[in-house]
């Protein structure tokens, strides 16, 4: 059976993200981390920890976007197949 690429929960499951994960919230968290680092108020150990967290979040976003791009390409391909009778 073929997976339904329009199912919004599919991408999150395929890239192993929690069901309540949201791209916009994750980007906001990365922005917060960057702002915290830029203030210069953090200890060096905290800077490294926050930077590592930001990289993890950015990788999640990258995987999510790549998966969604794949879904879009599949939908476009299927649409093309439907019109080629």
The pLDDT tens digits of the residues spanning 54-67 come to 999 999 999 999 99
Q: For the residues of 22-40, what is the DSSP string, one character each?
A: -HHHHHHHHHHHHHHHHTT
Q: For CA atoms 41, 57, 73, 19, give the dihedral sign.
A: negative
The pLDDT tens digits of the residues spanning 6-57 come to 444 444 545 688 899 999 999 999 999 999 999 999 999 999 999 999 999 9
Place of tokens 């080629």: 84
- Polymer length of the chain: 85
pTM of the model: 0.73
């Amino acid at each position: 059976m073929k997976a339904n690429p329009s199912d919004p929960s599919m991408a999150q499951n395929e890239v192993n993200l929690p069901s309540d994960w949201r791209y916009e919230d994750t980007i906001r968290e990365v922005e917060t981390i960057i702002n915290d680092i830029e203030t210069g108020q953090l200890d060096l150990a905290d800077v490294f920890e926050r930077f590592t967290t930001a990289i993890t979040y950015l990788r999640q976003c990258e995987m999510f976007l790549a998966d969604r791009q794949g879904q879009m390409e599949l939908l476009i391909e299927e649409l093309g197949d439907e019109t080629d009778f």
